[in-house]
Amino acid sequence: MPPPLSVLRSSRWLTPLILLLGGLCFSLIWILLALHLDRQAGWMALLAALDAALILRFTGMRRGPARILLAVTATVLMIALALWGIVASQLGFMLGLSPWSSAAKLGLAHAWTLLGLANTPADLICMAAAPLLAAFAAR
């Protein structure tokens, strides 16, 4: 038997909060994995897309364009946060800074240059395909 409608309405505010926490945790896992492997691990973008879509499904968000848009947006933000964290951590380790201190000092142009040097074509393909996978999985 499904829960009463009043329970479903009162828990709708949890969806963005759970998506935010899930996205932050996933980005942190991606950063740690990339630091451990000493490469970008662009394939994690595909898992980020599935993670966002599954979180939205499991929290009970209704089907439709809003769920698709939210899944795609969350995927893109997870990719951006993970890439920023990876670059900041690797650069911070070389300069003797903590990752969060390096992330605060890292400029956009410098990060873009370092990401261009670090990402392989396979990483870029995975990151480009991730929003499409999120849209497909969230429908």
Q: Render pLDDT for 52-74 as a digit per residue (tens, 0 to 9).
A: 999 999 998 999 999 999 999 99
Domain carrying residue 41: 5-138
Contact assessment for residue 26 and residue 53, using Cβ atoms and an 8 Å cutoff: no
Contact assessment for residue 74 and residue 23, using Cβ atoms and an 8 Å cutoff: yes
DSSP state of 39: S
What pLDDT does residue 12 have? Answer: 76
The pTM of this model reads 0.89
Contact assessment for residue 119 and residue 42, using Cβ atoms and an 8 Å cutoff: yes
Structural domains of the chain, count: 1
Mean pLDDT within 101-122: 93
Buried b (16+ CB within 10 A) or exposed e, 25-51: ebbeebbeebbeeeebbbebbbbbbbb
Q: Which residues neighbour 73 within 8 Å (Cβ) at sequence distance 6 or greater? A: none
- pLDDT at 1 > cutoff 90: no
What pLDDT does residue 9 have? Answer: 57
